[in-house]
Structure 1
Amino acid sequence: MNQTASIYGINGPVVTVKDAPWLTMMEMVYVGNERLIGEVIAVHDDAAVIQVYEETSGLTVNEPVVSTGTPMEVTLGPGLIGNIFDGIERPLKSVEALSGAFIARGLRPEAIDMDKKWDIKVLAHEGMMVTPCTILAETQETSLIQHKIMVPPNIEGEILSIGASGSYTCRDTLAEIKTPDGKVKKIGLIQHWPIRTPRPYGRRDPISMPLITGQRILDILFPLAKGGTAAIPGGFGTGKTMTQHQLAKWSDADIIIYIGCGERGNEMTQVLEDFTGLIDPKSGQPLMNRTLLIANTSNMPVAAREASIYTGVTLAEYYRDMGYHVAIMADSTSRWAEALREISGRLEEMPAEEGFPAYLPSRLSGFYERAGYVHTLNGLDGSVTLIGAVSPQGGDFSEPVTQNTKRFTRCFWGLDKDLAYARHYPAINWLSSYSEYIDDLGPWYTENVDPDFLSARADIIRILQEESSLMDIVKLIGADVLPEDQRLTLEIARVIRVGFLQQNAYHTTDTYVPIAKQYKMLKVILYLYEKCKDFVVKQAIPLSQIQKTGIFDRVIKMKYDIENDHPEKFDAVFEAIDALQF
């Protein structure tokens, strides 16, 4: 039975109640006469502290606080894909229908349309012994996603009864399972799971497959693995959101979950409008048929911002258990950390560096540790890949959120404001960025791309590093005093930067590049370098004479001139390089 206490104190989103010993940590409660959603975050011998996920203006002392006996949880079932939720899984379309353009308080619309009928194909039978996450049935959630109706992770036993294939709503019972302790559990199309508790899995498998993004600097130089973690730190205007948009549009994940955590309202509006109008390049169908959006803008309650990333990763784990590869874009974890700092300040906790709570590192690690490539409890393989944007104030990568994020992610795509201001996009600095997955993914690249892939990649990185060293000299005394071979290195580095690393998101051919074409471009550049080095070093041909042929500009333009589905056109570029004569 739900028990009731009274509000004793209010400090922004933090509410204190006295004499409520039945409240437990992480329990969901209803606060005030409008029954605002809250969560217990501290329990003392004479009081409990609650963070409220809605606006608390007008709330007064002595209003009721009602316990629910359940943790803060989300509803999982068919109908999630293609939807737009706030940080606590309230569908914004339903909220708009109830309260207009602004979210009213106390609204609790169902996360899923409970009355929509789904055509269910039953796969299990009576008398069957089932374990956690056993697949009972399946339905076509969207044209791209087949939704699997699973036994909840905390239930096992024998199927006493199960319905026939047919039409069901989310209110209907599909099966009844008798558990080992003799209880009978009713299983429907939906289930609930606490957002702060990771869903269980069978085992965590080693990283072995890259997340192909179609972005050359990522796929070739700093690859991310399926089930891996990546950070995209950068100051204002460096392209964090744009980079995440490109990953969401083009990466080969089965499902995309985009979490707008504390971003500006107009920016989130653009995201929502962009995604709802995009066509999935793999299927030719709307991208929303495999996308789920969580929008928690900067003017929404700060506590809900803190919950939004947990809501997103719980939804991702649910689809992972169906055998899908899910990619999460969290934009941005700095806003989430600021929410932690604000709530911590209201709780009068001892601040750590720059006012952030001392438990910031553990919260970040707890979030990123929920990524992984796993063998699920039902025998399928699935993954959750986490890509978190970080917005350090003033672009200072030494601040606590960026530094702690680097500790828990293995891929670091550092955005550079100088590159962004020079209109070099993506503005990922190739000298400060890194990927620790290259050794894990090396066998895949060797087998699926080319046996020489790793050595070719190393050559490109070496040339870029040599350019950086030479530019220190050039800034002091100019490029004219350099020997010809070093000037050639600078010219080839320019070809790599402009013709390979720079990518136009608005160009039909260049916005996405298959890995095979990326490697062909790489080989052309390295072949040109070796050919020109032979002219410059062995034959003493001046670099200026080679430049007059226009071969460098032709190689730069091949990213536009050669269509993604016409790799045979690279032969003409190789022939043009071979035809150079002096």
Structure 2
Amino acid sequence: MSQAQQPETQDTGEIESVSGPVVTATDLDAQMNDVVYVGDEGLMGEVIEIEGPITTIQVYEETSAVAPGEPVENTGEPLTVDLGPGMLDSIYDGVQRPLDVLEEEMGAFLDRGVDAPGIDLEKTWEFEPTVEVGDEVEPGDIVGTVEETVSIEHKVLVPPNFEGGEVVEAKSGDYNVEQTVVELDNGEEVTMHQEWPVREARPTVDKESPTEPLITGQRVQDALFPLAKGGTAAIPGPFGSGKTVTQQQLAKWSDADIVVYIGCGERGNEMTEVIEDFPELEDPQRGNPLMARTTLIANTSNMPVAARESCIYTGITIAEYYRDMGYDVALMADSTSRWAEAMREISSRLEEMPGEEGYPAYLAARLAQFYERAGYFQNLNGSEGSISVVGAVSPPGGDFSEPVTQNTLRIVKTFWALDADLAERRHFPSINWNESYSLYKDQLDAWWVDNVAEDWPEERQWAVDVLDEEDELQEIVQLVGKDALPEDQQLTLEVARYLREAFLQQNAFHDVDTFSEPEKTYRMLTAIHHFNDEAFEALDAGVPVEEITAIDAAPKLNRIATQEDWEEYIDELEAEITEQLREKY
């Protein structure tokens, strides 16, 4: 919206000093977290400290040429996001300004002080009420639906801060988001537009223990280190180890209903790739465009640092809104390290006492507040919804002992550790199976047993045991060489190699291998296990290990992942392995 359309101001003060994104003002009657407009250009900011007559503000835009003596106007309201139909298939900056709308108005480079609502206030939507006159509704109840995209039905909710009451009018037809669609007997009018403070979690009835996995289509994650719907995960890794590609794969292929992707302080070329690729991708679940269930928040490294600090909250609030409708939401934050760096910069300008490595002392608390908004919830309207949060961490030099990584690990329950050595060997996803872990495995086993295979936990444990044994044997191999090992241990190394190359490796850019459904993941694992069992039977029968590993069928294990007819291929391959090995004894 233009400067004239900004919220009515409540009080006016005067700038006293400017230090980067931090501005101090005097004579401003304000409360913590109030949104203010700073300077002659009306730059958006937020009150972050009040000390006597001095009010400290973090500004979400570049502050060059802003000078002492210019006015500061207070809106009296906290930083909020616009919620309603139209958020999907949209690209926002860190404070929910629609970048595509602003680009149409002023081109690729945005002017300072410009604003626009997060959703189109004039566009009409076909509203279909789900309540009738006389029905009693409470906060959070669904009163109607709108077809937001070809993939998602938008459910119009009674705002959580309403009292609720009896429906006296429910209208069907085409309305914009600010027009009343349901009226209650106490005078409350429900529209399709809500506003919600980003730093306040939306209310729910209860937070439950998750029991269903978020299927990612990535074998190393689904099989060995699963994430629950409503769970939290961290992807730490050094530069070039594949954090962004891994998160993009999760955004593309996870079986969440809604995806919120936050590019927080990342390089512009990476966000450009996301913005260009996502509209062209097809949703594997529904066959519709992927953007039809996706919201992108782009806050690149050259954008103002204060907006980077707020973009995480903008994203999680949008996720909570769709969760309230009963949807499963996956939120990707790339990366929380850049978010923490923004907090560190603002904290230093406030002259706060620094903690470890200069980060603010409240770093751990802020990370916990963010991740705690994830979960599997019982909503106010009786539905169930979830928010799964995956946060990338970019530790300087790949040092996992630095504060952001360590504080994140204390909070999340799934840890996908990316390894620079694996990335250099072109092993992707470069998730180190010796350092990664998931605390959701046991509670998710029942789902795998009921929906995929009864022996799933045993198959997974077999793979983990083989990889653990390989890790121990590699230390001996480096000292004395592989030939010095007994034949059974040499064979174990060969089986582990197929686990690494055929199963754990996955090509994100291959049309078939980019996604592996749970049934395929299970059958690939059982095929390698079948080779293991037949190979050790042959070894026990006196067949030399060199002859066992030289059979023609064994290398075909590496080609399962790229087969469209993988079921038939695996059946034939297992029969071929059995035949070729048993011929030798």
> Residues 20-99 of structure 1: matches in 2 within 5 Å?
20=28, 22-99=29-106
Please, which of 531, 534, 540 is the counterpart of residue 542 of structure 2? 540
1:16 correspondence with 2:19 = no
Q: CA deviation at 1:160?
A: 5.6
Deviation sequence 1:142-192 (CA, Å, 0-9, x none) = 00010011111111232464342101012312233355xxxx333211010
Residue 341 to residue 178, structure 1, CA distance change in 2 (3 Å): farther
SS of 2:149's partner is coil
Alignment partners' CA distance in 2, 1:412 and 1:477? 33
Structure 1 contact 157–177 (Cα < 8 Å) conserved: yes
Deviation sequence 1:346-401 (CA, Å, 0-9, x none) = 00011111110000000000000000011110111110000000001111111111
Alignment partners' CA distance in 1, 2:576 and 2:84? 57
Structure 2 residue aligned with 1:573: 573
Alignment partners' CA distance in 1, 2:252 and 2:520? 19
Please, which of 129, 132, 137 is the counterpart of residue 125 of structure 1? 132
Structure 1 contact 125–159 (Cα < 8 Å) conserved: no
Q: CA deviation at 1:223?
A: 0.4
Structure 2 contact 560–569 (Cα < 8 Å) conserved: no
Structure 2 contact 229–328 (Cα < 8 Å) conserved: yes
Q: CA deviation at 1:279?
A: 1.2
Aligned residues: 574
Aligned residue identity for 1:35: G
Alignment partners' CA distance in 2, 1:469 and 1:157? 63
Residue 566 to residue 559, structure 1, CA distance change in 2 (3 Å): closer
Aligned residue identity for 1:233: P
Structure 2 contact 136–167 (Cα < 8 Å) conserved: no
Alignment partners' CA distance in 2, 1:40 and 1:128? 42
Unmatched 5+ stretches in structure 1: none
> Residues 368-383 of structure 1: matches in 2 within 5 Å?
368-383=371-386
Q: When the two structures are superposed, what TM-score results if normalisation uses the length of structure 2?
A: 0.96
SS of 1:156's partner is coil
Deviation >4 Å, runs of 4+: none
Deviation sequence 1:434-486 (CA, Å, 0-9, x none) = 00000110111111111211111111011001111111011111111111000
Deviation sequence 1:472-503 (CA, Å, 0-9, x none) = 01111111111100000100000000000000
Alignment partners' CA distance in 2, 1:220 and 1:227? 18
Please, which of 527, 542, 557 is the counterpart of residue 559 of structure 2? 557
Alignment partners' CA distance in 1, 2:127 and 2:151? 16
Residue 287 to residue 66, structure 1, CA distance change in 2 (3 Å): same
Please, which of 217, 220, 241 is the counterpart of residue 217 of structure 1? 220
Alignment partners' CA distance in 2, 1:175 and 1:355? 51
Aligned residue identity for 1:457: R
> Residues 336-347 of structure 1: matches in 2 within 5 Å?
336-347=339-350
Structure 2 contact 560–566 (Cα < 8 Å) conserved: no
> Residues 255-404 of structure 1: matches in 2 within 5 Å?
255-404=258-407
- Percent of counterpart pairs with the same letter? 52
Structure 2 contact 82–195 (Cα < 8 Å) conserved: yes
Structure 2 residue aligned with 1:167: 174
RMSD over aligned CA atoms reads 1.2
Q: When the two structures are superposed, what TM-score results if normalisation uses the length of structure 1?
A: 0.97
Structure 2 contact 158–164 (Cα < 8 Å) conserved: no
Structure 2 residue aligned with 1:149: 156
Alignment partners' CA distance in 1, 2:418 and 2:177? 45
Structure 2 contact 133–170 (Cα < 8 Å) conserved: no
Alignment partners' CA distance in 2, 1:157 and 1:356? 44
Structure 2 contact 12–27 (Cα < 8 Å) conserved: no
Structure 1 residue aligned with 2:4: none
Structure 2 contact 414–438 (Cα < 8 Å) conserved: yes
Aligned residue identity for 2:546: S
Alignment partners' CA distance in 2, 1:65 and 1:161? 43
Q: CA deviation at 1:566?
A: 4.8
Q: CA deviation at 1:117?
A: 1.1
Q: CA deviation at 1:550?
A: 2.3
Aligned residue identity for 1:569: Y
SS of 1:173's partner is coil
